[in-house]
Copies of this chain bind each other. A is one copy, B any other.
C-alpha cells in the first residue's frame, strides 16, 4: 500500500487524500506537521530533504514530493485526467497557476491567520499584499468558472481538486467568497462528487 506523509489540516496534504477517496485508492496516512518541527526532524528529512509535506512513498520505497505532482501520478489514466494533449496541458496550466499565484497568496494568508505559531510573520504590510494577490487569483478563477462548470470544461480534472484544496478554506484566510458566485457554485459541484471527503478525513484503519 502507498503511504502519504502529511499534515491533516494542510490543503496541500489534503489534495492526494481527496483524490484517493474519489478513486478508491487505499493508503496509509502518517501525520507529520510543519507546526511542531516534524517536517524538519532528521527521520523525515531523510525521506524528503526539502522537509515538506505531502510526501508520497510507494510500496517499493520510491518517493515523490510536491502535491500536484503526486496528484498527476496517482490520477494517471483516471477520469480526472484528460487524454487529449491540449486539454491535459490546460489542466496543468491551472495546476501551475495554483502553485504560483494561488497557493502563495490564498493558502499563505490562511496559514498566517489560523496558525498561532506563524502569526508573528503576519505583518500588516504582508497581509495586505497577500490579500490583494489572493483576490486577483480568485478573480481569475471566478472568470473561468462563470463560463464552464469546471476549470478545464465540462468535467472535473485534477486542476479542480488542486484548486479546491485551498479555495474552500479561503474564508479562513480572510477572503470574501460572497463576491465569487461562480466559485461558490463550483465548490458545491466538487463537494457533490461521489466519495468526496472533507479536509480532515482519514480512511478507517481496517479499510486501509
A interface residue numbers (CB < 8 A to B): 49-50, 58, 62, 64-70, 72-73, 76, 85-86, 88-90, 92-93, 95-97, 99-101, 103-104, 140, 143
Contact = CB atoms under 8 A, between A and B. Distances in A.
Most chain B Cβ neighbours within 10 Å, of A67, A96, A103, A104: A96
Nearest to A103: B100
B89 A70 contact: yes
Contacts of A95: 69, 96
A73 B93 CA distance: 10
Given A50-B97, A67-B96, A69-B90, 4 more contacts: A58-B86, A66-B96, A68-B92, A104-B104
A143 B101 CA distance: 27
Given A49-B140, A49-B143, A99-B100, A93 B65 contact: yes
Nearest to A144: B49
Contact of A89 (B69, B93, B100): B69
22 contacts: A50-B101, A50-B140, A58-B86, A62-B86, A64-B89, A66-B93, A66-B96, A66-B100, A67-B96, A69-B90, A69-B92, A69-B96, A70-B89, A72-B88, A73-B85, A73-B86, A73-B88, A95-B96, A96-B99, A99-B99, A99-B100, A100-B103
A68 B68 CA distance: 13
Given A73-B85, A73-B86, A86-B73, A66 B140 contact: no
Contacts of A86: 58, 62, 64, 73
Nearest to A162: B96
